[in-house]
């Protein structure tokens, strides 16, 4: 079987790379290679920046109304190709079809948010702020912006978090697609031009390593960088791009916790935890890999969670009956398995073992890890503290609300947190006291709609303005405040010729 060799995309067209290194894209369900993408050269990354800079000169002058019309068309294109994009996302990433469909659909909400640009981007103004003077503040595009994409959401992150608001605000984009999962982003780029009709160069795409991508952090033509990935790399991106005068929003790691109180709806809570912990095989920064549960119900809760997790059907990502697909690569599978071994060595109780799971015929080469549950995880265990990014759940038994919130807030990450309770007093205390930037009350994955910011805290985020919501508009624009005065007869006689000269008339 011939393997398709991809190129990179600049100026509205695909280009053949001059690299001598191509990176395989695998089907995690089988381990088969389904495509190859280039490790683009530094010159090719620079060409993508140049293309975006040239396109910015005209795109930034397009009216708000017309930019929004492009985005309305783009929204309909995503709907029209939803099934194709879902299949492609599942095949290259490993998440099941429902999860892959959700990944693609999550590119729609930010597009709809971007369609509200003429309203949401309005500045402020006042007449007669002092005698004869008016002031207005406008929001203007930055220029070229870069998006550094992770592997875990091939549609939502580049085409939801990075492109819609950026281009709506008048910027142009260079995407560095994730080399393990670039195909969905590439196909969406083709549709962006061929079906939605955007002008050439508005969005450009490369695949490369961090060595070539360093240009996105240092080239003076790039004005802002959106990054999603590990905390270690996010810190480096934040520091290096900031050193070169760029805005940065870096979404990084998480170890989200839930606090389960004794008065919760036990069955519904267990179902929510299983979905949150094992959905997308745990490969999402809003997964729920740790739960603090009150001791009085812990035995019942663990039994329920084990029963529901064990019932998840392992299989090909693109089999409609699959509940739990593979992780993205052999290296990541081995990484997750090493964490399971570490949890055992640390003394946690292995309640459900996901090592060496049974897989369907033809999937023997796939990268599968079964749902795994540890009980009696304590504060000194790394398995309950660090991000694993796999289908592994750590259960911590606590005496009460106060011990639970203390343990949760001691974690260096603060992306999201949830409480399961029917008690309004404790729910309100939790909302106020948790460090989590996105908070759920009886919600396992408290990801807000795109109209609100994705607001991680502590070591889960580096920057000032988060992605999406009003933060997103502000991140992709800069303020310009204009003071206006029209000279009248008094001014022409020299009695009012400067702002300072009006002080006595304020």
Q: Which residues are part of the catalytic machinery?
A: 285
Q: In the numeric block, which tokens belong to residue 344?
A: 């055992």
DSSP 202: S
- Cβ(376)–Cβ(406) under 8 Å? no
In a 3-state reduction of DSSP, which class is residue 505?
helix
In the chain, the largest separation of any two C-alpha atoms, in whole Å, equals: 92
- Cβ(136)–Cβ(125) under 8 Å? yes
Spatial distance between the Cα atoms of 491 and 330, rounded to a whole number of angstroms: 76
DSSP 355: S
Beta strands 461-463 and 247-251 are antiparallel
In a 3-state reduction of DSSP, which class is residue 418?
strand
- Cβ(450)–Cβ(467) under 8 Å? no
Tokens 């991508």 belong to which residue?
A: 213
Alpha carbon separation from 479 to 122, 380, 466 (Å, rounded): 11, 47, 17
- Cβ(184)–Cβ(263) under 8 Å? no
Neighbours of 353 (CB within 10 A): 14
Helices (H), 195-329: 210-218, 231-243, 266-278, 295-310
Nearest to 98 by CA among 345, 425, 368, 317: 317
- Cα 504 from chain centroid (whole Å): 53
Spatial distance between the Cα atoms of 281 and 324, rounded to a whole number of angstroms: 6
Nearest to 184 by CA among 35, 45, 10: 35
End-to-end CA gap in the chain = 79
- Cβ(422)–Cβ(404) under 8 Å? no
Alpha carbon separation from 86 to 36, 92, 232 (Å, rounded): 20, 10, 31
DSSP 101: H
Helices (H), 125-230: 156, 164-168, 183-194, 210-218
In a 3-state reduction of DSSP, which class is residue 293?
strand
Contacts of 269 (CB under 8 A, 6+ apart): 260, 301, 420, 442
Contacts of 223 (CB under 8 A, 6+ apart): 142, 143, 144, 145, 171, 246, 247
- H or E segment to which residue 408 belongs: helix 401-409
- Cβ(226)–Cβ(148) under 8 Å? yes
């Amino acid at each position: 079987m011939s393997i398709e060799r991809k190129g990179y995309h600049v100026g509205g067209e695909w280009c053949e790379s001059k690299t001598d290194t191509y990176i395989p894209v695998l089907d995690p369900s089988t381990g088969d290679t389904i495509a190859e993408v280039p490790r683009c050269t530094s010159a090719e990354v620079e060409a993508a920046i140049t293309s975006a800079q040239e396109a910015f000169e005209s795109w930034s002058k397009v009216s708000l109304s017309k930019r929004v019309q492009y985005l309305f068309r783009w929204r309909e294109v995503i709907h029209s190709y939803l099934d194709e994009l879902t299949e492609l996302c599942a095949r290259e990433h490993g998440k099941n079809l429902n999860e892959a469909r959700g990944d693609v659909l999550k590119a729609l909400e930010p597009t709809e948010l971007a369609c509200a640009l003429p309203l949401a981007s309005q500045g402020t103004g006042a007449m007669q702020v002092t005698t004869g003077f008016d002031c207005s503040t406008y929001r203007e595009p930055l220029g070229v912006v870069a998006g550094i994409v992770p592997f875990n959401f091939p549609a939502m992150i580049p085409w939801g978090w990075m492109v819609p608001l950026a281009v709506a605000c008048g910027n142009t984009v260079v995407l560095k697609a994730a080399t393990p999962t670039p195909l969905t982003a590439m196909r969406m780029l083709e549709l962006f031009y061929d079906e939605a009709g955007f002008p050439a160069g508005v969005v450009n795409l490369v695949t490369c390593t961090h060595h070539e991508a360093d240009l996105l952090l240092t080239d003076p033509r790039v004005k802002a960088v959106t990054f999603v990935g590990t905390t270690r790399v996010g810190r480096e991106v934040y520091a290096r791009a900031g050193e070169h005068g760029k805005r940065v929003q870096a979404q990084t790691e998480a170890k989200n916790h839930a606090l389960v109180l004794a008065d919760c709806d036990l069955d519904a809570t267990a179902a929510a935890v299983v979905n949150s912990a094992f959905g997308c095989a745990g490969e999402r920064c809003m997964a729920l890999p740790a739960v603090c549960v009150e001791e009085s119900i812990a035995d019942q809760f663990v039994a329920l969670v084990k029963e529901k997790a064990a019932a998840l059907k392992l299989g090909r990502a693109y089999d409609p009956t699959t509940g739990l697909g593979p992780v993205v690569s052999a290296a990541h599978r081995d990484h997750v398995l090493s964490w399971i071994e570490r949890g055992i060595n640390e003394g946690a109780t292995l309640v459900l073992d996901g090592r060496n799971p049974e897989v369907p015929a033809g999937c023997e080469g796939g990268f599968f890890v079964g749902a795994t549950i540890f009980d009696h995880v304590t504060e000194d265990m790394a398995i309950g503290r660090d991000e694993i990014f796999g289908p592994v759940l750590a259960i911590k038994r606590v005496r009460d609300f106060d011990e639970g919130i203390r343990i949760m807030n001691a974690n260096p990450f603060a992306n999201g947190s949830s409480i399961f309770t029917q008690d309004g007093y404790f729910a309100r205390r939790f909302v106020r006291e948790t460090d989590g930037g996105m908070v759920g009350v009886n919600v396992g994955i408290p990801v807000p709609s795109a109209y609100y910011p994705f607001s991680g805290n502590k070591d889960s985020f580096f920057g000032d303005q988060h992605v999406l919501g009003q933060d997103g508009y502000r991140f992709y624009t800069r303020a310009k405040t204009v003071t206006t005065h029209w000279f009248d007869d008094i001014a022409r006689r020299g009695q009012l010729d400067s702002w300072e000269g009006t002080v006595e008339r304020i």
